[in-house]
Amino acid sequence: MFESLIEKYDKLIILADTMPMDMLISCIREFNKERQLMCLESLTTHKINVYDESVKKVKEFVVKSQKDKTDCDEDFFVQIGNIRKEVGHTATRDFLLFYEQGLRILNDKEERLCQIIKYRLIKEPIYFGSNKNKKGESIKISWLPYKVDVINNILYLVSQTGLLPSVYHQSGYNIIEDGTEEFGCAEIACSWRASDLREEMNTWLYNRLFSDDEKQLIVKTHRNVNQGDQIIGNDETDDYLYLLTKEEFENLDYMLKFCPPSEHYNSWYLCEQESRAWDDEDKLPSICAIKCNSETIDSIEANKPSLVRPAMALNLDLFIEKFC
């Protein structure tokens, strides 16, 4: 069904390591458009084939019924309906088997090409923005690509090192629920949306690190953290700078999971909550954190400082135009 397009993808994969980046991205997008058109044409053709086959089978049944002098009673029309259903079921089952198999192959090849782009970008440090050290000197910030979305024109980056130590939320909590019949006490939580750190990263840190020209490349990213959490509830945000979730961390390439520790701070934040505290305990909620020199997921009290390792999204085309 998709043989010709699969062949095009295979040829592009062979050339992907050496062809100009902008040309590679353009080819991927062109193939994706061709793929969408082929899918639409395949679905349309399938519907026409099902209709034609259904009409054929019904005609055969009617002709046979006339020869047998079958009465056109209620059962007659029920049988016609069953014929149409059976034709549709059989044809759709066989069609979907090949259609979905072809889509999986195309998805895998498109993802492989995105991975090739990511690894080509990782070979050289991506310097974007600058920070000041203790001496007031301007230091360029190095970023690592952790995901490339060619179709939506997004390059996702995470800083190579922790940029600064900061607390997640100064008071340690930002949501208190009234006691319930089940527990009879309040529960303390600390959402990403209402955290001091999110506010700091998207105002003070954002303006400190990036020039006006650099900001033109940064795309706001929609986030939905702590999904399904009944206490925190709506934790959806649109951020310039954000923290990775546990799932995003677990999907990072092995070497991207490590972050050089500073003198006093040996962990970097994730934005999901590790645990909560009850009001009858002298304990504040903990935030997920990653030990800098390992993949170990740790926990840090929300009002204790740790390293901030921000992530962000850039306009891929503008980035390629400016840096590649």
Spell out the residues 6+ positions from residue 17 whose beta carbon is closer than 8 angstroms to its own: 116, 120
Tell me, yes or no, whether 81 and 162 share the same domain: no
Tell me, yes or no, whether 47 and 67 share the same domain: yes
Please indicate whether residue 179 or residue 302 has the higher confidence score (pLDDT).
302
The CA distance from 86 to 91, in Å, is 8
Structure token digits, residue 7 = 């062949």
Query: Checking phi first, is residue 243 left (phi over 0); if not, alpha (psi -120 to 50) or beta?
Result: beta
- pLDDT tens by residue, 96-143: 777 788 888 999 999 999 999 999 998 878 999 998 877 878 899 999
**220, 241 in Cβ contact below 8 A?**
no
Q: Between the CA of residue 106 and those of 3, 131, 160, 196, what are the distances in Å? A: 10, 42, 32, 43
- Confidence (pTM): 0.80
State which residues form the domain around 297: 128-323
Tell me, yes or no, whether 242 and 310 share the same domain: yes
Confidence tier at 89 by pLDDT (50, 70, 90)? low
Tell me, yes or no, whether 106 and 150 share the same domain: no
Domains: count for the chain = 2
Question: Among 75, 95, 122, which residue terminates a domain?
Answer: 122
Mean pLDDT in residue range 250-279: 86
pLDDT for 184 beyond 60: no
The CA distance from 251 to 44, in Å, is 37
- pLDDT tens by residue, 206-252: 999 999 999 999 999 999 887 767 677 678 899 999 999 999 999 99
Confidence tier at 54 by pLDDT (50, 70, 90)? confident
**130, 138 in Cβ contact below 8 A?**
yes
Tell me, yes or no, whether 94 and 205 share the same domain: no
Question: Among 83, 99, 122, which residue terminates a domain?
Answer: 122
The CA distance from 69 to 58, in Å, is 16
Question: Among 122, 140, 166, which residue terminates a domain?
Answer: 122
Spell out the residues 6+ positions from residue 46 whose beta carbon is closer than 8 angstroms to its own: 91, 92, 95, 99
Q: How many helices (H) and strands (E) does the chain have?
A: 8, 15
Tell me, yes or no, whether 309 and 191 share the same domain: yes
Q: Which single residue is written with the structure tokens 């135009």?
A: 321
Q: Side by side, which strands form the sheet with 187-189?
A: 175-177, 187-189, 277-278
Tell me, yes or no, whether 163 and 291 share the same domain: yes
Q: Which single residue is written with the structure tokens 């959490």?
A: 229
Tell me, yes or no, whether 148 and 289 share the same domain: yes
Tell me, yes or no, whether 103 and 236 share the same domain: no
Tell me, yes or no, whether 106 and 148 share the same domain: no
Spell out the residues 6+ positions from residue 58 whose beta carbon is closer than 8 angstroms to its own: 80, 83, 84
Tell me, yes or no, whether 134 and 272 share the same domain: yes
Structure token digits, residue 27 = 């080819």
Tell me, yes or no, whether 108 and 211 share the same domain: no
Composition of the chain by helix, strand, coil, percent to 5? 45, 25, 30
